[in-house]
């Protein structure tokens, strides 16, 4: 690492940390929350995360026999849905930088009877270990905000897509509905950490997750980052008043 790189900083929630330290800190968060991750998702969103993911899956347009990659796929909800779309003759790769989350995701898919046509790869989104032009669709759901170098991750996902393939980014974003932001802020910083403490015995990790949402690029900024990475026909769709947005773009 160069002297310049070693002096760079980035955000870990609202805290400023060394650039090279963020991945380790994020790994610690997800090591902690992995066992209760799915339960907390249901509690935090009131089950809405299932609707958001279902909408994202409706936009993959995958066909039987095709290949898909779920980056930062966590416990495998999107991978599971895409596995049913491509069938056993296709391939879905569930990847995550965190071994605990990846293991939990693998166990969930196996428990659901999904064995054939799914691979599991522990990988960093910034430097995906796949050949150029491998996948017809790449998804990343609620993971991009935890990546240190988001521009590198977008370029990496662009590289592994086939021409004509699409990227789908499902992520928390900035509320756009009138009057929603103060309510959302109160919930995020007052209720969410308490839920984390009571259910997952980890208030700090869920405080970080709330803060990381506020530091993530807003809808228009992320759209510009996708275009800079090379994606074409980029657009986004706000869900739940902008609390979540689905961004999509194509490789030409």
Q: What does the mean pLDDT of the chain come to?
A: 91
Check: CB of residue 90 under 8 Å from CB of residue 66. yes
Check: CB of residue 99 under 8 Å from CB of residue 128. no
Paired with 11 in beta bridges are: 16
Check: CB of residue 59 under 8 Å from CB of residue 168. yes
Supply the pLDDT for residue 1. 47
At which residue do the structure tokens 């046509």 appear?
117
Q: What is the pLDDT of residues 168-196, one digit of tens each?
A: 999 999 999 999 999 999 999 998 888 88
CA distances from 216 to 209, 213, 220 (A): 11, 5, 11
d(CA 18, CA 241): 34
Supply the pLDDT for residue 6. 56
Q: How many CA atoms lie within 13 A of 25 on its CB side?
A: 20
Supply the pLDDT for residue 3. 45
Q: What values do phi and psi take at 153, rounded to 5? A: -65, -40
Supply the pLDDT for residue 26. 77
Domains of the chain, earliest start first:
9-177+207-250 (3.40.50.150)
**pLDDT tens across the length of the chain (252 residues):** 444 455 688 877 777 878 888 888 877 777 777 777 777 788 788 889 999 999 999 999 999 999 999 999 988 999 999 999 999 999 999 999 999 899 999 999 999 999 999 999 999 999 999 999 999 999 999 999 999 999 999 999 999 999 999 999 999 999 999 999 999 999 999 988 888 888 778 888 888 888 888 999 999 999 999 999 999 999 999 999 999 999 999 999
173-194 b/e (C-beta count within 10 Å ≥ 16 → b)? bbbeeeeeeeebeeebeeebbe
Q: What is the pLDDT of residues 228-247, one digit of tens each?
A: 999 999 999 999 999 999 99
3-state secondary structure 155-214: HHHHHHEEEEEEEEEEEECCCCCCCHHHHHHHHHHHHHHHHHHHHCCCHHHHHHHHHHHH
Full-model pTM: 0.89
d(CA 234, CA 111): 36
End-to-end CA distance of the chain: 33
């Amino acid at each position: 690492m160069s002297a310049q790189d070693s002096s760079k900083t980035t955000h870990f929630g609202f805290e400023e940390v060394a650039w090279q330290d963020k991945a380790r800190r994020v790994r610690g968060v997800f090591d902690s929350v992995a066992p209760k991750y799915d339960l907390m998702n249901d509690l935090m969103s009131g089950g809405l995360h299932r609707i958001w993911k279902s909408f994202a899956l409706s936009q993959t347009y995958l066909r039987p026999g095709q290949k898909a990659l779920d980056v930062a796929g966590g416990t495998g909800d999107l991978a599971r849905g895409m596995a049913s779309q491509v069938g056993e003759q296709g391939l879905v790769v569930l990847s995550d930088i965190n071994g605990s989350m990846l293991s939990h995701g693998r166990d969930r898919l196996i428990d659901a009877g999904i064995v054939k046509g799914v691979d599991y790869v522990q990988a960093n989104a910034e430097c995906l270990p796949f050949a150029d032009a491998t996948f017809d669709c790449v998804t990343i759901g609620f993971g991009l905000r935890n990546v240190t170098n988001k521009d590198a991750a977008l370029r990496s996902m662009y590289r592994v897509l086939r021409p004509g393939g699409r990227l789908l980014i499902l992520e928390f974003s900035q509320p756009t509905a009138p009057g929603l932001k103060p309510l959302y802020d109160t919930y995020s910083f007052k209720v969410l950490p308490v839920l984390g403490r009571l259910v997952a015995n980890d208030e700090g990790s869920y405080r970080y997750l709330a803060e990381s949402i506020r530091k993530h690029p807003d809808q228009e900024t992320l759209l510009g980052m996708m275009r800079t990475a090379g994606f074409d026909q980029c657009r986004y769709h706000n869900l739940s008043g902008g609390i979540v947005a689905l961004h999509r773009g194509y490789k030409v």
